């Protein structure tokens, strides 16, 4: 279907700032990687040492969704486990929208990628020389490798960052915000970036790999760090890349809910080790919703928690491990134990208040099995993409795995193409004048907070036609005066990206008139396979700036 301009996700411009090549600094590289999380650094490690590579990351290398991953990485490691079982668990969680060939490819490559991490110095938890395997919701076997108890991402990123910094062909720019992708005649040729508050620089690259992570900051309640503002989704869409499945935002069921605390993830591995979910009356309620109890897939657990909160008229539910060995609990989850102890909670003895929070964007920039997007010269990997692995709902601990597999493929593909291209060091004739900025100042923080609250209220765990329409009208209204301005700092650019991504999520959620995976419509509570066994794709004509949506 085609959306009219009035129904475009938000009124938008091709570039957020003026582009004047004669007045700007230039930098040339063979491959540009946008994002310093696991997918981006894995891509950097795959590139030929003869290919110059620049990695730009919005904050410090250690500040990414990969860094905060608690639970672990899924792989068939136990001799009693089978690839076929991991594939089927992934397909079951994905609500029939997974691409089976992609799932099989990723699952079969998983042990190889894990062995690679171990060679690079990652220290997974082990006992007597054997790697310890956990279990999480939706998995039929023990297959989750973890590190530091509940800080797997931190340990993996430590090892991969150390290795990447030693690569002589790789340059890393931290605290560098990517404002937009550069395109010329439909081909990606780099990006315009702002380095630590300095005037924008044009980075010209033979090939570009987008690994910018997620967009959890669209919502008021989120496990994502503050940098996860959907910048990659927005810059790719503005450049003309196809994005799909934006209605599928995964809400993690158990996020620490304490006044004054950050919305810290309480890993699913806690339930895998035997924790119970109870309501404010102490009632263990999951048996009322699913026979798998606390180990049901995340979408089911999140929706069950919301239902129980409504029944009890209480703002949260609770995790309890009072029935488990206290020493084991504190040793297995040291990070969570410390965080909760700061608020007077002993996780071995006390109930932990939790509720769902935005956690992982299942949809994103469409890529093929090699990580290629719909724009020549642009590759992508990780959470910013829709690869076909997750379908309508990501299986727990498949995200780090996806970043490794597709990061390697995108890095390999981009490296081969870049190495075959001549060294031209050419500045292409890209000029653009943004709309003049109105003189009246905007309270960017207030608009951002209002947008996040709106998305949580109207496009959250449960959705309905009237609420989605309310959200769309408000986002569209914000867009009229926010997107008409040219900002000169990160906070303004982030707000414009958040508005665009919020619009895409809201429009996709409105179009999909069924419930599937993490997308729950209270006015269409059942899955409709006859009509909706398909994707919703958005793509903008970058020259005409007319968005279209296709089923």
Count other Cβ atoms within 10 Å, centred on residue 338: 12
1: pLDDT confidence band, cut at 50, 70 and 90? very low
| Residue 206 sits in the same domain as residue 283 | no
CA distance 292 to 73: 21
pLDDT(3) > 50: no
Most confident of the ranges 253-267, 286-300, 376-390:
376-390
Long-range contacts of 447-451 (CB under 8 A, 24+ apart): 447/478, 447/482, 447/495, 448/491, 448/494, 448/495, 448/498, 449/220, 450/478, 451/218, 451/475, 451/478, 451/495, 451/498, 451/499, 451/502
Q: Are residues 393 and 496 in the same domain?
A: no
Residue 302: which domain range? 254-356
Tell me the chain's radius of gyration from C-alpha atoms.
Answer: 22
- Residue 332 is among the residues annotated as catalytic for this protein: no
pLDDT higher than 60, residue 2: no
Give the tokens for residue 46: 């795959």
Q: Tell me, what's the pLDDT at 544?
A: 41
Check if the beta carbon of residue 294 is closer than 8 Å to that of residue 243: no
pLDDT score, position 419: 96
Q: Is residue 340 part of a domain?
A: yes
Assigned domain for 109 exists: no
Q: How confident is the model at residue 436 (pLDDT cuts 50, 70, 90)?
A: low
Worst-scoring range by mean pLDDT, 371-375, 390-394, 398-402, 437-441? 437-441
Tally of structural domains, the chain: 3
pLDDT of residue 267: 83
Task: Reply yes or no on whether the pLDDT at 401 is more than 80.
Answer: yes
Tell me what pLDDT residue 214 has.
94
> Which tens digit of pLDDT belongs to each residue from 156-182?
999 999 999 999 999 999 999 999 999
User: Do 375 and 245 have their domain in common?
Assistant: yes
**Phi first, then psi: what are they for 54, rounded to 5°?**
-115, 125
Q: Are residues 378 and 334 in the same domain?
A: no
Could you read off the pLDDT of 463-493 as tens digits, one per residue?
A: 999 999 999 999 999 998 898 889 999 999 9
| Domain limit, last residue, from 323, 356, 389 | 356
Identify the CATH number of the domain in which residue 483 sits. 1.20.58.100
- pLDDT tier for residue 68 given thresholds of 50, 70 and 90: low
Residue 225 DSSP class: -
**Residue partners of 291: CB distance under 8 A and separation at least 6:** none
In a domain, 76, yes or no: no
The answer on pLDDT for 204 being more than 50 is: yes
Q: Is 429 contained in some domain?
A: no
Confidence band, pLDDT 50/70/90 cuts, at residue 221: confident
Gap between the Cα atoms of 159 and 157, Å rounded: 5
Catalytic hit among 220, 271, 298, 332: 298
């Amino acid at each position: 279907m085609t959306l009219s301009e009035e129904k475009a996700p938000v009124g938008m411009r091709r570039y957020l700032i003026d582009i004047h090549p004669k007045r700007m600094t230039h930098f040339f590289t063979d491959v540009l990687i946008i994002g310093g999380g696991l997918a981006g650094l894995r891509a950097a490690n795959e590139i030929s040492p003869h290919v110059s590579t620049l990695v730009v990351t919005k904050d410090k290398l250690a500040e990414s969704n990969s860094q905060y991953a608690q639970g672990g990485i899924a792989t068939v490691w136990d001799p009693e486990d089978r690839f076929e079982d991991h594939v089927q668990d992934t397909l079951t969680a994905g609500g029939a929208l997974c691409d089976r060939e992609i799932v099989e490819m990723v699952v079969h490559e998983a042990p190889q990628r894990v062995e690679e991490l171990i060679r690079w110095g990652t220290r997974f938890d082990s006992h007597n020389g054997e790697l310890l395997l956990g279990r999480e919701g939706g998995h039929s076997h023990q297959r989750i490798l973890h590190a530091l108890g509940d800080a797997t991402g931190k340990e993996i990123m430590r090892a991969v960052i150390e290795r990447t910094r030693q690569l002589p062909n790789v340059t890393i720019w931290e605290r560098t915000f990517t404002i937009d992708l550069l395109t010329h005649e439909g081909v990606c040729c780099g990006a315009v970036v702002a380095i630590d508050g300095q005037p924008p620089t044009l980075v010209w690259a033979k090939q570009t790999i987008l690994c910018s992570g997620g967009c959890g900051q669209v919502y008021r309640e989120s496990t994502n760090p503050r940098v996860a503002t959907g910048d990659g989704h927005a810059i790719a869409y503005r450049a003309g890349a196809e994005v799909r499945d934006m209605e599928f935002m995964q809400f993690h069921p158990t996020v620490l809910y304490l006044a004054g605390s950050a919305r810290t993830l309480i890993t699913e591995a806690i339930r895998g080790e035997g924790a119970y979910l109870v309501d404010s009356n102490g009632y263990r309620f999951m048996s009322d919703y699913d026979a798998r109890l606390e180990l049901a897939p995340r979408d089911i657990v999140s929706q069950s928690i919301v239902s129980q909160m409504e029944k009890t008229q209480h703002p949260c539910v609770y995790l309890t491990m009072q029935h488990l060995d206290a020493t084991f609990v504190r040793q297995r989850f040291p990070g969570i134990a410390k965080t909760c102890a700061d608020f007077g909670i002993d996780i071995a003895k006390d109930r932990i208040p939790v509720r769902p929070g935005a956690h992982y964007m299942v949809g994103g920039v469409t890529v093929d099995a090699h990580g290629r997007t719909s724009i020549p010269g642009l590759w992508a990997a990780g959470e910013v993409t829709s690869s076909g692995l997750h379908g309508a709902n990501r299986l727990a601990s498949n995200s780090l795995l996806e970043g490794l597999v597709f990061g390697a493929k995108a890095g390999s593909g981009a490296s081969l193409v870049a190495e075959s291209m001549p060294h031209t060091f050419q500045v292409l004739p890209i000029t653009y004048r943004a709309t003049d900025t109105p003189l009246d100042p905007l309270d960017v923080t207030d608009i951002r907070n209002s947008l996040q609250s709106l998305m949580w209220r109207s496009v959250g765990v449960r959705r309905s036609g009237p609420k989605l329409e309310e959200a769309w009208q408000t986002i569209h209204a914000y867009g009229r005066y926010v997107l008409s301005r040219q900002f000169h700092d990160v906070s303004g650019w982030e707000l414009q990206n958040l508005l665009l991504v919020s619009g895409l999520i809201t429009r996709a959620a409105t179009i999909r008139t069924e419930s599937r995976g993490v997308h729950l419509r209270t006015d269409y509570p059942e899955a409709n396979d006859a009509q909706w066994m398909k994707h919703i794709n958005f793509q903008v004509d970058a020259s005409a700036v007319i968005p279209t949506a296709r089923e």
